Amino acid sequence: MKLEKERLLIISPHADDEILGCYGLIKKIKDNGGEVFVQILSLGGYKKIEGNKITKEDWLEELSNVSQMLKIDDYDVAFSDDEIQHIDTKPQQELIEYIETKSKISISKIKPSIVAIPTIFSTHQDHTYAYKVAIAALRPHPQKATHMPQLVLSYESPEYYFWSAYSEFGRFQPNFYLNLTKNDLTKKAESLNMYSTQMRDGQRGGENLFSLARIRGNEIGLEYAEAFHIHRLYT
């Protein structure tokens, strides 16, 4: 699958999830002359993290720098003017309408050919909530003139695998893979490190990115891969 001149919209619960789950997809789309848009639902709140005060300006500066480096065509943050840390405190209908029509990069405005959303199989409540509102915004509805992206994918989050109870949440079952090189993964780790306010030792480190990519690569006979689950595909 060449993915040439596609228009990709990524629904990202927080700034950094787009890299964790979709770095390879972003690179593939941009390398093949396409466009990439990132809809971030929340910056995550402005609090002290490991003793450091995080401000709204810190988050937005990091987001701007990462977007420039990845050559993102445009991005939007649904909730950035308050200190609400979890998007599951927001009404579902408000988020659904925002993704559908109200955002400056809404589905109805940019008409993406591909939409990538977080998997529901997550131990993070924001990710499962984001999945539910995104799926609702993307549902088939023949009675209204709604843009229907040809390809809808969910992407995985590394944090899902770092608690033994993850199997109780269901299992992420990939059926779409992107080949990654060692250099791609190095660049992915470097991009993620630009979100310095989000980085912690352990789960999001480069070693774990390589480990997961190696597992996904082994599943299809490659050295490294990024994995997705297809929810809809039509031509």
Helix (H, G, I), strand (E, B) or coil at 15: coil
The secondary structure of 91-132 as a DSSP string is -HHHHHHIIIIISTT-HHHH--SEEEEE-S--S-HHHHHHHH
Whether residue 46 has pLDDT greater than 60 = no
Q: What is the pLDDT of residue 34?
A: 98
168 within domain boundaries: yes
Question: What is the Cβ-side half-sphere exposure of residue 27, based on CA atoms within 13 angstroms?
Answer: 18
- List, edge to edge, every strand of the sheet that includes 176-180: 74-79, 35-42, 7-14, 114-118, 151-155, 224-233, 176-180
CA angle 171/163/45 to nearest 5° reads 100
Band of pLDDT at residue 109, cut at 50, 70 and 90 = very high
19 within domain boundaries: yes
Q: What is the span of the domain harbouring residue 40?
A: 7-233
Whether residue 166 has pLDDT greater than 60 = no
Whether residue 12 has pLDDT greater than 90 = yes
2 within domain boundaries: no
121 vs 167, higher pLDDT: 121
Q: What is the pTM of this model?
A: 0.91
Q: What is the pLDDT of residue 181?
A: 97
Whether residue 235 has pLDDT greater than 90 = no
Whether residue 66 has pLDDT greater than 90 = yes
1 within domain boundaries: no
Q: For the chain, what is the domain count? A: 1
Q: Which residue has the tokens 């609400």?
A: 84
11 within domain boundaries: yes
Mean pLDDT, rounded, for 207-223? 93
Q: Which residue has the tokens 């993915």?
A: 3
Whether residue 219 has pLDDT greater than 60 = yes
202 within domain boundaries: yes
Cα(79)–Cα(7) distance, integer angstroms: 24
Q: What is the pLDDT of residue 198?
A: 65
203 within domain boundaries: yes
CATH number of the domain residue 141 falls in: 3.40.50.10320
62 within domain boundaries: yes
Whether residue 18 has pLDDT greater than 60 = yes
Mean pLDDT, rounded, for 2-24? 94
Cα(220)–Cα(225) distance, integer angstroms: 8
Beta strand 7-14 with 35-42 is parallel
